[in-house]
Structure 1
């Protein structure tokens, strides 16, 4: 028998929550466990970026789907939707913006194109945010819109391979290079988070890495519109 004072496994909780959402199961018990976790226990478990990426990506994607089920009409007011303090983790009320911009993007302001830091992050945010931001999160986070990437269940031992796969898969369908005109058409995510991707230089490097453009090419960039039509339940097919 597991001792009663053993803290729950945070990674397992995040995975089980996302699986419950995907399968239409009752997630209230899992939400309660996340809410009542001791913050020091959680911090000790999330001791590196692979673990933090896994926990917060799974949590964010599950929370979006739950909020869409609970208050679908709120989605028409997106700033209210993403700013709602709708979830509690280790005793701390959090919004989707808190998780994405504060924790996963390491305290970057959402409207700053990836260049502006929040000068007053919370103590919780400072403790749990990534040490090194990873631009590939933008191909893993699903905010409920039709233009969002599909949702996968992330695992710490596979997180970098999974993020690379998610990035390649998303760009293979959402980016297009016209070699005749030397123009690459990109998802609007690149414009919104230009600084996250390292500006033009970093974007070109990523596009080369993913095989969207040929090495050494320097195309003009055009940014596609974003389809905000609601598309809940977009999960990567089970193997």
Structure 2
């Protein structure tokens, strides 16, 4: 059985790669209920697949916009389940289990929201950096 959220994330990534309008699909993300996210993304593999696709899609969407700021990774412009997230929130909060790195050491950040802590993966995967940004360059929706 196909997972609706995985399919949605793949469709958004496809639209972003072909530079098509993805506003309606992104609106679906905004109106998702957290309960549906918890039910449909109930394993770390499903969470990684969904969030890597969303991350890469938004990297492309932001890159194709005319005006860019130096802090594009910090801007909270990704709307999911009525929350506003940044690319950093997805990478470090969700995919890296609400941690940040100092050199080669990862330290948990206690200031992430309850929403991020609830949907974050439970097991840190040190190979994620290979899938972020690079997956958006040549289409291959992430199927971890």
Flag whether TM exceeds 0.5 (same fold). yes
Q: What corresponds to 1:140 in structure 2?
A: 131
TM-score, L = length of structure 2: 0.89
Does residue 51 in structure 1 map to residue 46 in structure 2? Answer: yes
Query: In the TM superposition, what is the alpha-carbon distance from 1:120 to its structure 2 partner?
Result: 2.4
User: 1:30-69 maps to which residues of 2 (within 5 A)?
Assistant: 30-69=25-64
- 1:20 paired with 2:15, answer yes
Q: Is the 8 A contact 2:62 2:68 kept in 1?
A: no
Q: Paired residues, what number? A: 140
What pairs with 1:1-239 in structure 2 (closer than 5 Å)?
A: 9-74=4-69, 77=70, 80-111=71-102, 113-142=104-133, 148=134, 150-151=137-138, 152-155=140-143, 159=144
Q: CA deviation at 1:83?
A: 0.2
User: Equivalents in 2 of 1:71, 1:117: separation in Å?
Assistant: 35
Structure having the higher Rg = 1
Residues 14-42 of structure 1: CA deviation (Å, up to 9, x unaligned): 00000111122210111000111111111
Distance 1:99 1:114 in 2: 19
**Aligned CA distance change for structure 1 residues 129 and 112 (closer, same or farther; 3 Å):** farther
- Structure 1 segments (4+ residues) deviating >3 Å: 110-114, 148-151
Q: CA deviation at 1:113?
A: 3.4
TM-score (norm 1): 0.55
- Comparing 115-124 and 42-51, the one that deviates more: 115-124
Aligned counterparts of 1:40 and 1:114: Cα–Cα separation in 2: 33
In the aligned structure 2, how far is the partner of 1:127 from the partner of 1:153?
A: 24
Residues 137-177 of structure 1: CA deviation (Å, up to 9, x unaligned): 110100xxxxx56442112xxx1xxxxxxxxxxxxxxxxxx
The Cα of 1:110 is off from its aligned counterpart by: 4.4
Output one character per residue of 1:112-157: Cα deviation in whole Å (capped at 9) or x when no partner.
5342110222111111111101111110100xxxxx56442112xx
Structure 1 regions of 5+ residues with no counterpart? Answer: 1-7, 143-147, 160-239
Q: Deviations over 1:54-81 (max 9, x none)?
A: 000000000111112225432xx2xx11
Work out the CA distance in 2 between the residues paired with 1:105 and 1:114. 12
Counterparts in 2 of 1:66 and 1:117: CA distance versus 1, 3 Å: same
Distance 2:103 2:88 in 1: 14
* Cα RMSD (Å): 1.8
Structure 2 unaligned regions, length at least 5: none
